[in-house]
Amino acid sequence: MKEIFDQSSYKISKLITNEYSTSFSTGIYLFDSKTRPTIYAIYGFVRYADEIVDTFNDYNQSELLTKFIQDYEFALKEKISLNPILNSFQEVVNKFGLHTLVNSFLESMKMDLEKSTYLNKEELEKYIYGSADVVGLMCLKVFVKGDEKEYQKLSPYAMKLGSAFQKVNFLRDIKHDKDHLGRSYFPEVNFDCFSEEQKRLIIEDIKEDFNQAVIGIKQLPSNCRLGVYVAYKYYLSLLNKISVNPAEQVLNKRTRIPNYIKLYLLNKAYIRYQINAL
């Protein structure tokens, strides 16, 4: 029965999410039970595409990405795929009309294989829109259950949150991106002489994204608000930790948030949610 195959596909998407990200896994766990599988399906798809362009360096990444996109397009048309990640994702795309958003995401994945340096703000914003903002927009479509009016109202905030998450990742992964992938995402920043002032300006820009994003988080439906808020608090805590570390340390060591801090943030967020302070 295809129903069993579909159920197992969603379970595999959940497994991928749990294996790759404790932060997002925790946030998704706090969604209501009907929302979780759909978000797992989205994360599984974007995670696999990202893996192709970021970590499969010993393989022909361009061919792998092309094949992945072809398989996705086949799944979308036929409404089935023997790749369980694509099988669960195509159902979500078709149900919520995510086609254009996914196309933008895949364009940014292609950019990761074709472009290593972003020379100006416009180039970077185009990349971030496709690699991160649209992921937030996909999730928002699910959160509002396709309500177009709510989607349009909350879209700017979802994009700000996606941008903030992506920029924090860039800042956290400077060394890996520079040394292993040969990429530089911040225009006009020379990481051979990364300064405290350059770090400060980047962090101020990200904090402004977070300040705008939280306005929208507080307006999200109750079925997802706590989970998104917890992910927001995790990433904001990571940014705050980066901000107090010397620029040289940020450049040469990946900053992490200990699990006990994550647990503290989770408990604090839950209390705020329970007393309607979100």
Does residue 17 sit in the same domain as residue 153?
no
Does residue 58 sit in the same domain as residue 146?
no
Which of 64, 98, 114 is the endpoint of a domain?
114
Does residue 98 sit in the same domain as residue 215?
no
Read off the pLDDT of residues 8-18 as tens digits, 9 standing for 90 and up. Answer: 999 999 999 99
User: For position 66, which CATH number holds?
Assistant: 1.10.600.10
pLDDT at residue 271, rounded to an integer: 83
pLDDT at residue 180, rounded to an integer: 76
Report the domain count for the chain: 2
Rounded distance between C-alpha atoms, residue 147 and residue 53, angstroms = 33
Task: Give the residue numbers spanning the domain of 148.
Answer: 117-278
Does residue 128 sit in the same domain as residue 264?
yes
The predicted model gives 205-213 an average pLDDT of: 96
Which of 91, 114, 137 is the endpoint of a domain?
114
Does residue 158 sit in the same domain as residue 209?
yes
Read off the pLDDT of residues 16-62 as tens digits, 9 standing for 90 and up. Answer: 999 998 888 888 999 999 999 999 999 999 999 999 999 998 999 99
Which of 62, 97, 114 is the endpoint of a domain?
114
At residue 183's C-alpha, the angle toward residues 256 and 140, to 5°, is 65
Does residue 51 sit in the same domain as residue 78?
yes
Does residue 10 sit in the same domain as residue 84?
yes
Rounded distance between C-alpha atoms, residue 256 and residue 259, angstroms = 9
Does residue 260 sit in the same domain as residue 145?
yes
Read off the pLDDT of residues 65-93 as tens digits, 9 standing for 90 and up. Answer: 999 999 999 999 999 999 999 999 999 99
pTM over 0.85: yes
Does residue 52 sit in the same domain as residue 141?
no
- Residue pair 193/200 in contact (Cβ under 8 Å)? The answer is no
Does residue 171 sit in the same domain as residue 248?
yes
Does residue 109 sit in the same domain as residue 122?
no
3-state SS string for the chain: CHHHHHHHHHHHHHHHHHHHCHHHHHHHHCCCCCCHHHHHHHHHHHHHHHHHHHCCCCCCHHHHHHHHHHHHHHHHHHCCCCCHHHHHHHHHHHHHCCHHHHHHHHHHHHHHHHCCECCCHHHHHHHHHHHHHHHHHHHHHHHCCCCHHHHHHHHHHHHHHHHHHHHHHHHHCHHHHHHCCCCECCCCCCHHHCCHHHHHHHHHHHHHHHHHHHHHHCCCCCCCHHHHHHHHHHHHHHHHHHHHCCHHHHHHCCCCCCHHHHHHHHHHHHHHHHCCCC
Nearest one of 111, 113, 129 to 121, comparing CA atoms: 129
Rounded distance between C-alpha atoms, residue 268 and residue 264, angstroms = 6
Read off the pLDDT of residues 153-179 as tens digits, 9 standing for 90 and up. Answer: 999 999 999 999 999 998 888 877 777
pLDDT at residue 119, rounded to an integer: 66
Cα maximum dimension of the chain = 60
Does residue 217 sit in the same domain as residue 121?
yes
